[in-house]
Amino acid sequence: MRHQLDFITIIAISTANTDVDKLLYLRSVLEGEAKKAIEGLEITSANCKIVIDTLRERYGKTGAIVDAHYVVLYRTRAARNCVKDCRDVLNKIERHLTVLKSLGKDVNHNHLEVRTTVNLVPQVEDTVQLKRHLDRVHWQTCRIAEVVKGSDRQIRVAKVATPSGAVVNRSIAHLYSLKISEDEEIREGENPQITQADVGDPTEQVEPRERPMCLPESTR
């Protein structure tokens, strides 16, 4: 996946970059077999298309790359109340949106595509909901007790502890993650985000406060 992401990211870099710039960047970030695949080629504009076509054929699994970029976007923490951090978070988001756009995804609407395959990268102690053929308000909230890897070392099943205390096996496709990453947790000394509970019911009528009367100077 590292090879795939690095390769696609370089393809999405500003068009102001020359073919030679792209090849130099690829040599600096690729590792293992991907790096060996381009080591014998000279850094020239003529070889740029050859390198890109070779890497796309071997590592260009577009679906997996799209999934990985959505995962990062879903888990992007809120920026802290300072200009530098706001800029850093915004730049991170824009980088991933640029890649998704280059892969043909529509990033101009006001919500990100929801992909079942990236909904959960399960970890022990994660809080999840069990998907059922009911309204989501009726889904059970559970905790992952154990993850089960298949012969290919991929996690497809998790053992989840239900509110009743039972532990059941469920496909990760039937789990919806409620996990908040450490980056998203409120750090000591930071202002917590305002929630609906803090604001109250927007339909609730609030009695206007009586403003103090200001007396003219002559009567004070």
Report the DSSP beta bridge partners of residue 104.
Answer: none
Q: What is the pLDDT of residue 194?
A: 34
Residue 164 pLDDT greater than 80, yes or no: yes
What's the mean pLDDT in 59-80?
A: 72
- Report which residue type is found at 187: R
Crossing angle of the two packed helices 83-102 and 2-11, in degrees rounded to 10: 90
Q: What is the pLDDT of residue 99?
A: 76
Residue 205 pLDDT greater than 50, yes or no: no
Give the strand pairing for 127-130 and 167-171. Answer: unpaired
Decide which of 200 and 128 is more confident.
128
CB 158 within 8 A of CB 172: yes
The pLDDT tens digits of the residues spanning 23-40 come to 777 777 677 777 777 777
Q: What is the pLDDT of residue 167?
A: 92
Alpha carbon distance 118, 96 (integer Å): 15
Q: What is the pLDDT of residue 50?
A: 80
Decide which of 43 and 179 is more confident.
43
CB 100 within 8 A of CB 66: yes
CB 89 within 8 A of CB 76: yes
The model's confidence at residue 9, banded by pLDDT at 50, 70 and 90, is low
What backbone torsions phi and psi does residue 151 show, to the nearest 5 degrees?
-65, -20
Alpha carbon distance 179, 125 (integer Å): 9
The pLDDT tens digits of the residues spanning 105-130 come to 877 765 555 443 444 467 788 888 78
What's the mean pLDDT in 142-166?
A: 85
- CATH topology for 119-177 is SH3 type barrels. (2.30.30)
CB 70 within 8 A of CB 14: no
Mean pLDDT over each residue of the chain, to the nearest integer: 67
Mean pLDDT lowest among 45-54, 67-76, 180-189: 180-189
Q: How large is the C-alpha radius of gyration of the chain?
A: 25
Residue 64 pLDDT greater than 70, yes or no: no
Alpha carbon distance 190, 85 (integer Å): 13
Residue 178 pLDDT greater than 70, yes or no: no
Alpha carbon distance 160, 22 (integer Å): 46
Q: What is the pLDDT of residue 121?
A: 62
The residue extents of the domains of the chain are: 2-60, 119-177
Residues 6+ apart with CB under 8 A from 129: 136, 139, 140, 141, 142, 175, 176, 178
Alpha carbon distance 120, 170 (integer Å): 13
- Report which residue type is found at 120: L
Decide: helix, strand or coil at residue 5. Answer: helix
Measured CA to CA in angstroms, residue 8 lies from 13, 47, 167, 177, 218 at distances of 9, 17, 41, 27, 76
